[in-house]
Structure 1
Amino acid sequence: MISSIDKTTSLHLNNEVQFLCFTLDGELDSQLYAMNVFKIREIIYYEGEFTQTAGENDGIMLGFLTVRGESIPLVDMKRWLYYSPQDPRRDLRPYSIEGEKSLVVICNFSNYTVGLKILGVKRIIQKSWSEVVVGSEYGFDGRSKVTATTKYDDGSVIQILDVEKMVADAFPMLEGFSSLELQSIEAINSDKIILLAEDSQFAARSLQKIIEKLELKYFTFPNGKALLDYLFSEDVIAHIGVIITDLEMPMVSGFEVLKRTKENPQTRHIPVIVNSSMSSDSNKQMAQALHADGFITKSNAVEIEELLKKFLAHS
């Protein structure tokens, strides 16, 4: 299974994606969840001791595990489904994943490494992004923790989890660092519109805060299809200054947004910035091959300011 995770980004050329499908409870017909395999470094059974965090251990974080000398924070994914920012001190221990061994998915994204405790792995599925529907399901706290849904072999619904939001909920101190970054950026004088494509509601809000601080006009779309539909509607192209797109999105991926924008003579002049939590060399090389004008790690305010100043200087 691990070797099958080590795929090249050639999937993106066909607007395809692979998801790891997993369960969080032991019921026979338990809900299937999924996450993109490109975020996954490895999957392990962890039998060592956890280094518990100071104070109560009744929240999302279970503590730290040590893998080949590296200390990695561990999050209980089932606890997170019951977490609410409105009640951050709620005791989540009754919702813990119960298993004989600790099955941990170790992920790299947004410059962080984190371990996600799950109960069981079903398998890896391959889908066209056109088979992935923008999420309308909600977490148990009434706030969306699901970016999209797709179907398993038997027709049952798979909920694709918003791991960016999970990281923000588990590590609220990162918000403080983001606020400090925002203070250092300044307004850009331009009448052009910025188009944003991002399926994670949390990541979209972070991006919107940056663009608002820069005092620029923008429209946000939950996937690449919605952005392209707007871009190619009547009398729009002339008003667009820059496109900022995520890579992994339902219906149409960011790679497809990039490809279609740069292939069309009417839009190839519009700068396209890839804003992704998956900053691997292969993703960067693929983006460059498709003529991306910039690649930033989600959502770095200073990098975004520098690129937008560069691209909007004469608009």
Structure 2
Amino acid sequence: MISDVDKTTSLHLNNEVQFLCFTLDNESNSQLYAMNVFKIREIIYYNGEFTETAGENDGIMLGFLTVRGESIPLVDMKRWLHYSSQDTQRDLRPYSIEGKKSLVVICNFSNHTIGLKILGVKRIIQKNWSEVSVGSEYGFDSDSKVTATTKYDDGSVIQILDVEKMILDAFPMLEDFSGLELQPIETIRSNKIILLVEDSKSAAKSLQKIIEKLDLKYFTFPNGRILLDYLKSDNNIEHIGAIITDLEMPEVSGFEVLKQVKENPQTKHIPVIINSSMSSDSNKQMAKVLDADGFITKSNALEIEELLKQYLTEY
């Protein structure tokens, strides 16, 4: 079910998505959470031992589990929801997921493999992106771990978690490493504006750092709908140098952005670069079929520099 890559790619073409709905506590009316199915490699019950992290075992990370010889970091999702970057020394053990077995979602995204400990799986739901609301519309603050929401069958709210933010919270050293990766890239001489489309605040921040390092102007949009509305209302299309868009976004997906930009005679000349953690061969092929001008692994600075140098003729 989860490995059906071609089916998931076709969902993107119809501006649809599948979410795994899961719970983190035993309450009968417990909050439902969700993440994109396409980021999931497998779901397992893990009965084996895991290697605890060095030092106090009171943070987000529980340690490392071994799956078919592969060592994978394990994060307690309930602990993460109670984590605050303003109080990194807080003891999160009282918020641990309690269960007889460890139910673990193994995920692959942004060149990382990670295990997420949850309590229970509800089911997989299919939604049109128009049925998914941007988190900020529900008043979530800037440090929120919820990137968007949608509704379950009974009308209850499902909170879609920002897994990119979870990665940086669990492994803060990765944000520092991104600074080292920026060192080789050089300024691009251009007055063109780069349009960035990304619903994850942490991922958008990474993109912005790269574009600033390239010394380019940019505007950031939290979803594809707002980007498309901007293109329709803007009278300065000629000043746009490129669009860099995520694939999975509330309201309008990245593939839908690509389709509409390339089908519009006024905007089809604008280079559209897909920036996604879901870099499967099928997604890359579909992007090519839809005339994407590039497909890069999530916020890879060198790949972004190479493509923008290619399309910004004033460098």
Shorter-chain TM-score above 0.5: yes
Distance 1:179 1:138, change over 3 A: farther
Deviation at 1:3, TM superposition (A): 5.8
Distance 1:56 1:138, change over 3 A: farther
Give the structure 2 partner of residue 155 of structure 1. 155
Deviations 1:120-169 (A, max 9, x none): 00000000000000013588x98211110000000000000000000011
Give the structure 2 partner of residue 216 of structure 1. 216
Give the structure 2 partner of residue 107 of structure 1. 107
Give the structure 1 partner of residue 206 of structure 2. 206
Whether the 8 Å contact between 2:8 and 2:18 is mirrored in structure 1 is no
In 2, Cα distance between the equivalents of 1:6 and 1:272?
22
Give the structure 1 partner of residue 81 of structure 2. 81
Whether the 8 Å contact between 1:138 and 1:146 is mirrored in structure 2 is no
- The letter of the residue matching 1:310 is Q
In 2, Cα distance between the equivalents of 1:96 and 1:248?
29
Root mean square deviation, CA, Å: 1.6
- The letter of the residue matching 1:85 is S
Whether the 8 Å contact between 2:273 and 2:295 is mirrored in structure 1 is yes
Give the structure 2 partner of residue 262 of structure 1. 262
Distance 1:3 1:187, change over 3 A: closer
Q: Secondary structure at the match of 1:9?
A: helix
Deviations 1:11-58 (A, max 9, x none): 111100000000001101110000000000000000000111111110
Whether the 8 Å contact between 1:230 and 1:236 is mirrored in structure 2 is no
Give the structure 2 partner of residue 60 of structure 1. 60
Distance 1:287 1:15, change over 3 A: same
Deviation at 1:314, TM superposition (A): 3.9
Whether the 8 Å contact between 2:5 and 2:282 is mirrored in structure 1 is no
Give the structure 2 partner of residue 172 of structure 1. 172
In 2, Cα distance between the equivalents of 1:6 and 1:261?
23
Deviation at 1:2, TM superposition (A): 4.5
Give the structure 2 partner of residue 43 of structure 1. 43
Q: Where does the alignment leave 5 or more consecutive residues of structure 2 unmatched?
A: none
Deviation at 1:279, TM superposition (A): 0.8
Give the structure 2 partner of residue 129 of structure 1. 129
Q: Secondary structure at the match of 1:232?
A: helix
Give the structure 2 partner of residue 92 of structure 1. 92
In 1, Cα distance between the equivalents of 2:2 and 2:287?
25
Greater alpha carbon shift after TM alignment, 113-122 vs 231-240? 231-240
In 2, Cα distance between the equivalents of 1:5 and 1:156?
28
Deviation at 1:4, TM superposition (A): 6.3
In 1, Cα distance between the equivalents of 2:156 and 2:228?
30
Give the structure 2 partner of residue 191 of structure 1. 191
Distance 1:184 1:4, change over 3 A: closer
Deviations 1:193-235 (A, max 9, x none): 1101000000000001111111111110000000011012141
- The letter of the residue matching 1:306 is E
Greater alpha carbon shift after TM alignment, 84-93 vs 98-107? 84-93
Q: Secondary structure at the match of 2:25?
A: coil
Q: Secondary structure at the match of 1:7?
A: helix
Q: Where does the alignment leave 5 or more consecutive residues of structure 1 unmatched?
A: none
Give the structure 1 partner of residue 18 of structure 2. 18
Q: TM-score, normalised by structure 1?
A: 0.96
- The letter of the residue matching 2:236 is V
In 2, Cα distance between the equivalents of 1:120 and 1:286?
33
Give the structure 2 partner of residue 32 of structure 1. 32
Give the structure 2 partner of residue 245 of structure 1. 245
Counting only pairs closer than 5 Å after superposition, residues 295-306 of structure 1 correspond to structure 2 as 295-306=295-306
In 1, Cα distance between the equivalents of 2:270 and 2:142?
38
